Amino acid sequence: MPLPTDADLRTAFLTLGRLARSGSYYDGLPSGSAVLSAAEEQSLLDTIRTIFNGPPRTRSEFIPASVLRVRTGVAAISENGTYPARFTFLPLAAATLNAVGVEFQLPRDLEPSLAVTLRALWTIDALGAGAWRAETNIALVTANGSLVAAGSNLTADISTTGLAINNGFVSLLGSAVLAASPGDLVRINVARNGPHANDTFTGVVRLLGLMVEYTPNI
């Protein structure tokens, strides 16, 4: 549902104001009585506009590592730690191209005109130094569409400098406007491009999962 414009809010508010001043909605209010001054009307209008046009409302879906499929190069899904302090991850090693992916149904409350944002939840197996090169591809698969469509390419050089082993981190992979409809299928592939010149972290990136952020249409 689209947000009301300032003009919509003003029309609705002033209509209510006229009804109030006429006494139609207020028992015992003399006809023609001023309920709010012009300045008070404007102040209330500004407050309503702030409520409707406030901080973006986002929701997220989490795709755990156990659901992601190996596309190329990645060793089998692994676990680390001693129970109960144990977690699951996909290892993205240095110096090689490692990619994982998933076919994902977009939420049915998606606002299709706004961007979908992808984030990685990850950790490392060695003291952080340098960066790892994340390359993400997201493709919309419409009805009878191709699962091997080119899609949109997103890149990010994610710093590990000063980060500790086995601490969890969330990093932006990128955003794309997909012109999708709620419930459409997308193909998401995420890679660590180890051979890239910008990939200077020599340890293993342990991918815990992906977050898909979107704006709902309510």
* pLDDT tens across the length of the chain (218 residues): 455 666 666 666 665 555 444 444 444 545 554 556 667 667 766 666 666 655 557 899 999 999 999 999 988 899 999 999 999 999 999 989 999 999 999 999 998 888 999 999 999 999 999 999 999 999 998 767 778 888 899 999 999 999 999 999 999 999 998 888 889 999 999 999 999 999 999 999 999 999 999 988 86
Instruction: Name the one residue in this structure whose structure tokens are 């944002």.
Output: 117
Q: How far apart are CA 149 and CA 31, in angstroms?
A: 66
The pTM is what?
A: 0.74
Q: What is the enclosing helix (H) or strand (E) of 90?
A: strand 85-92
What are residue 141's DSSP bridge partners? 185
User: Is the omega angle on the peptide bond into residue 84 within 30 degrees of 0, that is, cis?
Assistant: yes
